[in-house]
Amino acid sequence: MKRITLAAGLFSALACFSLQAQHLDSQVTVPFEFHMGKSMLPAGVYLVQHAGPAVIMKGIDGKHVSRMSLVTPASHNTAAERTTLEFNRYGDSYFLSSVWAPYSTDGVVLPKTKQEKELAVRVHFTTATAVALKQN
């Protein structure tokens, strides 16, 4: 009986580990400067990596910018054909809000910072902007 329990526990742990190991590596050109967490990132070409509970943005066009943010899982009603970054726009300020996997309804959402929440209160109109990524 102990062996069956041990085997079931080991199988469950391996299954959970393999789910966490799924990752996303895509390249994107963001045509505007944007906030990711508390950081302001310049317009440019980035490598977007998603693995486990984090999203990492690495500048690959000569600007050595690299930022990481913790994320929470989310889902859409319909699947996108490409990997997509979504931004919340308040006036001229863009905030990275979510990353969506291709051909899937699964994605991740970044938490809103204090600055974004305050700006959302002052600017009563929010626009969602999406940027499609090129899969590597």
Q: pLDDT tens digit string along 50-77?
A: 888 999 999 987 666 889 999 999 998 8
Domain carrying residue 51 = 22-135
Is position 8 within any domain?
A: no
Q: Side chain identity at 38, as an amino acid letter?
A: K
CA distance 38 to 111: 11
Is position 31 within any domain?
A: yes
Is position 74 within any domain?
A: yes
In the predicted structure, residue 46 carries a pLDDT above the cut 70: yes
**In the predicted model, what is the mean pLDDT of residues 105-119?**
93
Is position 118 within any domain?
A: yes
Model confidence at 101, pLDDT cuts 50, 70, 90, reads: confident
pTM of the model: 0.75
Is position 113 within any domain?
A: yes
Domain count for the chain: 1
Residue 12's pLDDT is 44
The burial of 94, by beta-carbon neighbours within 10 Å (0-12 exposed, 13-18 middle, 19 or more buried), is given as buried
Is position 1 within any domain?
A: no
